[in-house]
Amino acid sequence: MALMEKILFGIAKQWIAGDTIDEALIAAQSSYKNGMGVIINKLGEYHTSKNLIENTISEYKTIMNSFRKWKVSGAISVKPTQIGLMKSKKECLNNLEVLIRTATQSQTFVWIDMESSDHTDETIQIYENLLARYERVGIALQANLMRSRGDLADLLSVGGKIRLVKGAYRESPDVAFKTKDKIDQNYQRLMKMLFESGNEFGIATHDGAMINSATTLAKKFEKKFEFQMLRGIRDELKPDLVKKGFTLAEYIPYGTNWLPYSIRRLKERKRNILLLGSSFLSQRMGT
């Protein structure tokens, strides 16, 4: 197990900034110097310990208050189960409000991550509550979930800001598309809805076909959006998108709880392994 962890860490450090806030901010500064925005996520989920929840909130506040000092334009991405959802929806909502108040003061955007389908209803309810009172807050929707088309239509009708992802959680075939073709088709469908009816959204994908579709849609619909990609993946593509005038943000995870996150990223799509390998080789060859 120790050997396996060592091997996995060797892979994971391609996308994990490190254990500490400073390491995350150093990575963010590098992204910003290369013309990209950043989205910082502290690793960890399903917290029930009061101390752990409070420490997580404190770290996110420190990050947001550090962006200006580090000369970084950034956002944070928060998992509801890491700040109280496992205890109650009310506690999670209250803690998100604390973070959003800090975000308002520091001109930081807050993305709410979407976790497994067990938490989708609660997460959307929390987001709708916040959206009625705060402007700089968005939510992730997963293209692998069958319900997402309806969720997206509902959220766009109230001005929701959406981060569209494929989905990283193992789900039942009763609620989720299970093949790549089906998920890709739904991603394309949801992306078209965003360009037609949304604004200020994130196209979070490393898939070249999805990226090409987004660039084509962007010529037809003048919308404010950004591409979002994980640090360390598709590094050969990012400068080209920036050069073409697209806004791009790197998603930067940090923290000691890197193992479950990394295993899920690798399980999410076999293609992630290929993309990671390609990025790794490109860096080693100096391309």
The length of the chain, given as a count of residues: 287
Q: What angle do CA 195, 175, 276 make, to 5 degrees?
A: 65
Q: Where are the beta strands (DSSP E) in 133-196?
A: 137-142, 162-165
Catalytic hit among 133, 147, 149, 163: 163
Backbone angles phi, psi at 227, to 5 degrees: -80, 145
Q: Is 147 a catalytic residue?
A: no
7: number of Cβ within 10 Å: 10
Long-range contacts of 57-63 (CB under 8 A, 24+ apart): 57/83, 57/95, 57/98, 57/99, 59/21, 60/99, 60/102, 61/98, 61/99, 61/102, 62/21, 63/21, 63/24, 63/25
The residue from 113, 184, 207, 235 that is catalytic is 113
Q: CA-CA distance, 184 to 181, in Å (whole number)?
A: 5
Residue 113 is a catalytic residue: yes
Tell me the residue type at 186: N
| Residue with the two structure tokens 């997206």 | 152
Residues classed as catalytic:
113, 163
